[in-house]
């Protein structure tokens, strides 16, 4: 995996987690993930917007048009109750897999 590339399956989890604190537009989501990861993770538009569309269709987020801080018309995404439930499921799965990997790394 190239440096700074998003691990497979992690993008949806990170989007849902970032939206837990409030509505954001796409570029702000990518920037928030980048800054919270200490500039390690980069979310490319070619991955972000298809992922947002998928979770929008699943009902995990809603969207509405608004004006960004740079006075541009943008789509803001907000977590739904179903999205909060999915986030908890995704976090549980992540912690289970992370613990399994740690067990192998520490005992192999």
pLDDT at 2 over 70: no
The pLDDT of residue 7: 73
In contact, 55 and 12? CB cutoff 8 Å: yes
Task: State pLDDT tens for residues 20-72.
Answer: 999 999 999 999 999 999 999 999 999 999 999 999 999 999 999 999 999 99
Query: Residue ranges of the domains in the chain?
Result: 10-107
Using CA atoms in the order 39, 84, 9, 40, what is the torsion angle rounded to 10 degrees? Answer: 10
The pTM of the whole model exceeds 0.85: yes
For domain 10-107, which architecture applies? Orthogonal Bundle (1.10)
The torsion angles phi and psi of 61, rounded to 5 degrees, stand at -135, 160
- Are the beta carbons of 29 and 43 closer than 8 angstroms? yes
């Amino acid at each position: 995996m190239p440096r700074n590339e998003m691990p497979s399956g992690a993008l949806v989890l990170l989007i849902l987690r970032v939206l837990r604190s409030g509505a954001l537009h796409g570029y702000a989501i990518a920037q928030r993930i980048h800054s919270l990861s200490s500039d390690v993770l980069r979310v490319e538009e070619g991955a972000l917007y298809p992922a947002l569309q998928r979770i929008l269709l699943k009902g995990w987020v809603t969207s509405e048009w608004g004006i960004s801080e740079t006075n541009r018309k943008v789509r803001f995404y907000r977590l739904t109750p179903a999205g909060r439930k999915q986030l908890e499921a995704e976090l549980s799965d992540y912690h289970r897999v992370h613990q399994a990997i740690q067990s192998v790394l520490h005992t192999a």
